[in-house]
Amino acid sequence: MDIIEKRRSIRKYKSNKIDDNLINKLMQSAILAPSGDNTQPWRFIIVDDVKIQKEIIKLSHNQKWMETAPVLIVCIADICSRIKDSDNLILDEESSIFELKQIIRDTTISIEHIVLEAVNQGLGTCWVAWFKQNEMKTLLGIPNNKYVVGILTIGYADEEPKQRPRKTMEEIVHKNKW
Ligand SMILES: Cc1cc2nc3c(=O)[nH]c(=O)nc-3n(C[C@H](O)[C@H](O)[C@H](O)COP(=O)(O)O)c2cc1C
């Protein structure tokens, strides 16, 4: 609970670099996430190249605050973990294929592992999912049969945002039946 309560979306970072060891720990936390049938569909691209970061940011509706993050982690769901002959599939916002829901579900769990382990390591993060699949995949050379679930900005926080409003227990919890 301590770590969960500490977490905020951080949109301003210090310029300090992040040690490779810490990035490795974040990746290890992702590896340990649960997934349906242990399919582990998550894949990641760690982007510390400023030129590539700038292109990613442009495609993310030019959210300028992202430029302060020393590292971006592009989080990808791979349908190969569920469909063997998927080379010709094109996964995008319009896809209704059931397995896409499963791989997004599982990849999201691993992303949240990273987010919480980042807090444990004294780092801040923010999810970004405001981009178009085809544009991001073309930029990063990601094959069509993958789905970019989100991008995490990672770095040492240079702000202390207040907790954003949350729904009450009564609004979200039912007992025994809906
Ligand atoms: C899937 C997802 C996509 C998000 N995309 C963005 C984004 O593009 N830009 C941004 O500034 N914040 C983004 N956020 C952060 C949310 O705005 C934030 O989590 C929410 O307002 C609650 O604030 P908190 O994370 O500080 O508790 C995203 C969060 C999630 C989970």
Most informative mutation of 9, 63, 153, 167 for ligand 1 (most atoms within 8 A of CB): 9
Predicted pLDDT at 166? 98
Backbone angles phi and psi of 68, in degrees to 5: -80, -15
Give me the DSSP letters along 118-169: HHHTT-EEEEE--S-HHHHHHHHT--TTEEEEEEEEEE-BS--PPPPP---H
Predicted pLDDT at 36? 98
Q: Going by CA atoms, what residue is nearest to atom 25 of ligand 1?
A: 9
pLDDT tens digits, 4-28: 999 999 999 999 999 999 999 999 9
Edge to edge, the sheet with strand 71-78 lists: 42-47, 71-78, 146-155, 124-128
Distance 8 CA to ligand 1 centre (A): 9
Q: Is 108 in the pocket of ligand 1 (CB under 6 A)?
A: no
Tell me 44's DSSP state.
Answer: E
- Look up the pTM and report it: 0.98
Q: Is 126 in the pocket of ligand 1 (CB under 6 A)?
A: yes
The stretches in the chain having pLDDT less than 70 are: none
Which residues, in sequence order, are CB contacts of 99 under 8 Å at separation 6+?
79, 82, 83
Q: Is 128 in the pocket of ligand 1 (CB under 6 A)?
A: yes
**Ligand 1 atom at minimum distance from 11 CA:** 11
